[in-house]
Structure 1
């Protein structure tokens, strides 16, 4: 979600997988601050499921849990920082970072936004919906996503990749719906708060779109950047 511009581009597989593992490891470390036992820590459990889905090596996953829980090399101090602004051609962008150095992140983001326009807090987020997004796979062929959505308390649902269903929730209901879905025939593989554009830009030429996608790829490749959400029609 939010990274739809990537779909048409084949990236170097090793580099792309490395970046994915780095982002997932950060999510695991942050979640593990509240305990290293996934049975007692729902955020850690979901982060681990996402890592397993991406085929993260077991030793990498376990090291991230230990590091986040303060059992290895001391505590990890990642902070969440959000930036808002515009890509070229006034395409709205929200960038979420997890960083151990806010000054470094701020400097990097300023440089990355030189071809666009960095805004202030609230400058584009007003034109996005902030909601919970849960990816889940059916545990049996007769699992009914509509019934599961109603019973678990989701606001809506839609088809996702690889036969999964995307359940959409109010931000405050994300955890409760995640916990309820397994009772209604679905295994949760990802649960996070996301931004969805209300009015995605669709009037770009192929050349302009390529320029916007290059801008977004450069931001997504930064080590501190965790998620990029963009108001660009698919």
Structure 2
């Protein structure tokens, strides 16, 4: 039984890894489509490339995805970026980013997933979020001044992060999330990397302005709802007003 469970657990891990790589490849393609194939001049693509490298996506796969998105590759199939807005149970605002090559298939599937919540229209709740650059990093310097690092890197704001909040941050390390302008993700990530920080996340996303009060039961229900969204193959990122 133990051996069978081990095989099953490995299969689950491999499936999750495959889903993650697939989502990253889609993100590379759409980023290149929207802003061009040069990461140095396309902050969104730069962030996607960094994410791909940290997930051990091969260079060939990264280059093919960029070529596909920028139209320089042999694969010309279209990939659309769609943003759904709505509410999870208990009126928790949610933004869902989707990358799909078949809008007619994906849209009804997302609508079904929102049955326990409310699927809104475009612009129905984006005003509840800030559209920003997000860089998460950690350092071994126990005396690191987060505010000074944010100012020097060119970030607008920061908040401490622990291993419990992001398991990519090793225990015992000083972690932080730096909030930046969308165009400054590359510059902030570069400064941090050059000054002894290990960058684990570099992306453009949505940061909730306020957070509804939830008890444990409500938080669990919202968590199940969000997990179902994240498990959909075409869902790239789910942003929710949950701490």
TM-score bin, normalised by smaller chain: 0.7 to 0.9
What's the CA shift for 1:35?
Answer: 5.8
Residue 213 of structure 1 is matched in structure 2 by 223
Structure 1 moving runs of 4+ over 6 Å: 139-143
What's the CA shift for 1:133?
Answer: 0.6
CA distance in 1, matches of 2:31, 2:141: 29
What's the CA shift for 1:168?
Answer: 0.8
2:172 counterpart of 1:151: no
8 Å Cα contact 1:143/1:185 also seen in 2: no
CA distance in 2, matches of 1:123, 1:30: 24
Aligned residues: 222
Q: What TM-score does the superposition give when structure 2 sets the normalisation length?
A: 0.74
Where structure 2 has 5 or more consecutive residues not aligned to the other structure, the ranges are 1-10
What's the CA shift for 1:203?
Answer: 2.4
Structure 1 stretch 145-154 or stretch 222-231: which is displaced more? 145-154
CA distance in 2, matches of 1:198, 1:38: 29
RMSD between aligned residues = 3.1
What's the CA shift for 1:188?
Answer: 4.5
CA distance in 2, matches of 1:141, 1:204: 34
Where structure 1 has 5 or more consecutive residues not aligned to the other structure, the ranges are 1-10
Q: What TM-score does the superposition give when structure 1 sets the normalisation length?
A: 0.77
8 Å Cα contact 1:47/1:190 also seen in 2: no
2:102 counterpart of 1:92: no
Residue 130 of structure 1 is matched in structure 2 by 131
2:242 counterpart of 1:232: yes
CA distance in 1, matches of 2:241, 2:142: 35
The equivalent position to 1:170 in structure 2, one of 181, 188, 192, is 181
